[in-house]
Structure 1
Amino acid sequence: MSQDKITQIALSHVLLPLPKPISDAKVMTGVQKPMTEVSLLFVEITSQDGHQGMGFGYVLRAGGKAQYAHAQDLAPFLIGEDPNDIPRLWEKMAWQGASVGRCGVAVQAIGAFDTALWDMKAKRAGLSLAKLLGPYRDAVPTYNTSGGYFGTSIEEVCANADRSRANGIRGVKMKVGQPDVAEDIRRVTALRKHLGDEVPIMIDANQQWDRETAMRFGRAVDDLSLTWIEEPVSAHDYEGHAWLNANLDTPIATGEMLSSQESLQQLIDHRSVGFLQPDAPRIGGITPFMSLAGEAAKAGLKLAPHFVMEIHLPLAAAYPGDCWVEHFEWLEPLFEERIEIRDGCMQVPTRPGLGLSISEQTRHWTVASDRYGSA
């Protein structure tokens, strides 16, 4: 049997508008402005044998044009390659961009190609991505984040939490890290009182504390039975997270802002977390994610991938340890399909590949597109 070959690659740069501006602690402290849109890179790959795969990555705030530009540089190098050779093609793309490194925008562009190749591989086999990887479960516990941002009163946060619970979502996360720590504590305490002791609550400081402030806050809320405290200090402060993780009753979660497999490995090596939060599109796609997940499992960590439930759900299903998937409805308009949620869990899709097809509306949000190879 002759080997298959990649014959065409289509790239799209999409700007997805958000229903309303989004603010977290980085906005409250003046580091960033409210977020109004999500920049996405879509990669669609077609092979000589007629197989197709779709992958995507994203950027929040600055960097979307750079991600798309790097994808334009990479695409020609995959034409004529066997799409089955996914790890080798990841390395080939990484070497093409060696002078800009193996983190940040460089690997985030690679991640969209890598995901498309995995999507194609699963479709070729007639399997869902979870079945191709080898699932441990067919449903993954989920928590909602979008209802707990700043700019939302605590009464609205509680109402949003009730709505999420009514829609089958198990846990809720709210933002903390504003300059007034006492107000943060008041809001978290009010949410716990409203939901009762059994509902999982996560809180996220988005890197806005120093170690001492994080410790004081953690001790103040240790008796609230929180599932985790997320990003209490700088994302790159491996030792600070490890110190907090060792000395607080509440587990520490972090990892979403790190943009390479190697940097997340530092969290594992330093015992910095109870919950590791890798983001597949940010670290280069499914290939590095699954390698990292293997290391996390060996270390006995729990897994809670960041954002992009559409990609992370099948990856979490293939994780041997305890895991969560984060519910964000932001990206739903991009796709024709919807993820089913019931009994506190996202149901792992059984459709071939990722089980996603790009919506017609997404074409209207496309600001740039390119094609490489022949039809």
Structure 2
Amino acid sequence: MSITMERAHAELWRYPLKGSTGGSGITSVDLIVCNLESNDGHTGIGFSYVLGGGGEHVVQLANSMLDRFVLGQKLMPPNALWRVLMQSLNRLGRGSGYLAIAALDVAMWDLHAKCQGLPLGVSMGGTLREVPVYGSGGFGPNQDPAEAVDQALKYANAGATAVKLRFTGNASDFKRLDAVANAIPDDVGIMADLNEKCDLASALWLSNACAEYNLIWLEEPLPAKDIHGYISLASKTRVPIATGEHHQGANELLPFFEGHCCAIAQPDLAMMGGLTEILRVVILAEHFGISIAPHFLPSLFIHLAAVSPAITWVEDFPLLEPLFNKPAVMLENGMMMPSEVPGHGLSWASGAREEFKVRQ
């Protein structure tokens, strides 16, 4: 029997957060939720997102792609479908199209792995393994040092071997950094995220001042597209530089790899257009000796870690986790292990769709 796609649909959910969240201070997330079902009864769940709103256009694109290239069509392997979808953007540009493709890509990988009866990481060609988790949730750029210490100690006591602070790019960062560094155990490392707040001069000043704290990395000190600034900064600082969550496609990250100005790459599921393109980034990272620490969503990216040793960290930033039913959690040893059920193992929490689906 030829396997075809019997059902394929995307819908918009709007998920309000409890307050200003993370270094960029978002207050809501638009989710593009994709549901697939083949004529042999296998299903796939996928999602993408827009941080801060604007998902209406993305879900329209997702449904257009599903109608044109998926619904009623013979089932294609995820890589093959991704190329078809990407080619459809040839005269449109990546933009919102990549965010739409991401939802379809995740759903297709989930369905593909379920058809094989394998966990996603194994279906992708890997072997399931533990990966260390760093704690990123609950930190803010204007946070009181005592609050940052409390949050860092919660992570350390739970087993995390690193925490990531948020920086503003001025002298107030050092009070928070010093307080946390003096409070946490010596075997718990520190990262810091600037969320693109500096220019080259202030990034050099701040990174040099951070050197004595032996940061694991300094994240997005400059605007994401400032390749020349990153090359100059990396050549003058002792602190490893991380970037990647705002880049779309391997082509946008490749100059950072070739310029040796990025020690850690942090691909974002939505911006990269899904898991298929992130797999390409991971392969490039292996070639250049660059570590990969994907942007949040550890329950999903822990499967990608099965495919490549380049993935050295997953991030505990529980932005969407309340929407999932039993997502993967950090173990007492500070590691995370993927689910062994077929597919990516993620499903929606009871009542989530009814509460957050946007009625159109």
RMSD: 1.8
Deviation of residue 68 (structure 1)? 1.1
Normalised to the residue count of structure 1, the TM-score between the two structures is 0.90
Q: Is the 8 A contact 1:12 1:369 kept in 2?
A: no
- 2:319 equivalent to 1:330: yes
- 2:14 equivalent to 1:22: no
Deviations 1:133-168 (A, max 9, x none): 233552111111112113531111111111122223
Q: CA–CA distance in 2 between the matches of 1:240 and 1:197?
A: 32
2:229 aligned to 215, 218, 240, which one?
Answer: 240
Look up the equivalent residue of 1:367 and give its one-letter code.
K
Corresponding residue for residue 159 of structure 2: 168
Corresponding residue for residue 126 of structure 1: 117
Deviations 1:185-243 (A, max 9, x none): 22112211111432111000011111111111111110101100000111011222222
Question: Secondary structure of 1:98's partner?
Answer: coil
Percent identity over paired residues = 30
Corresponding residue for residue 84 of structure 2: 92
| Larger deviation, residues 90-99 vs 343-352 | 90-99
Question: Secondary structure of 2:218's partner?
Answer: strand
Q: Is the 8 A contact 1:134 1:318 kept in 2?
A: yes
Corresponding residue for residue 30 of structure 1: none
Look up the equivalent residue of 1:40 and give its one-letter code.
L
Q: How does 1:208-357 map to 2 (within 5 A)?
A: 208-321=197-310, 323-342=312-331, 343-357=333-347
Deviations 1:232-279 (A, max 9, x none): 111011222222223222100000011222112222122221101111
Deviation of residue 338 (structure 1)? 2.4
Q: CA–CA distance in 2 between the matches of 1:242 and 1:310?
A: 33
Corresponding residue for residue 207 of structure 1: 196
Look up the equivalent residue of 1:264 and give its one-letter code.
L
Corresponding residue for residue 29 of structure 1: none
Q: Is the 8 A contact 2:22 2:138 kept in 1?
A: no
Look up the equivalent residue of 1:79 and give its one-letter code.
L
Look up the equivalent residue of 1:98 and give its one-letter code.
N
1:365 aligned to 329, 335, 355, which one?
Answer: 355
In the alignment of these two chains, the number of paired residues is 358
Deviations 1:20-70 (A, max 9, x none): 22252x5xxxxxxx4221111110100111111111111111421221121
Deviation of residue 124 (structure 1)? 1.1
Normalised to the residue count of structure 2, the TM-score between the two structures is 0.94
1:154 aligned to 140, 145, 153, which one?
Answer: 145
Q: Is the 8 A contact 2:77 2:112 kept in 1?
A: no
Higher relative contact order (CA 8 A, sep 6+): 1
| Larger deviation, residues 70-79 vs 205-214 | 70-79
Gaps of 5+ in 1: 27-33, 371-375
Look up the equivalent residue of 2:12 and give its one-letter code.
H
Q: CA–CA distance in 2 between the matches of 1:260 and 1:322?
A: 17
Deviation of residue 176 (structure 1)? 0.6
- 2:65 equivalent to 1:74: yes
Gaps of 5+ in 2: none
Q: CA–CA distance in 2 between the matches of 1:265 and 1:63?
A: 28
Q: How does 1:41-56 map to 2 (within 5 A)?
A: 41-56=32-47
Corresponding residue for residue 64 of structure 1: 55
Question: Secondary structure of 1:138's partner?
Answer: coil
Deviations 1:290-349 (A, max 9, x none): 111101111111110012223212112322235100112221221112213110111222
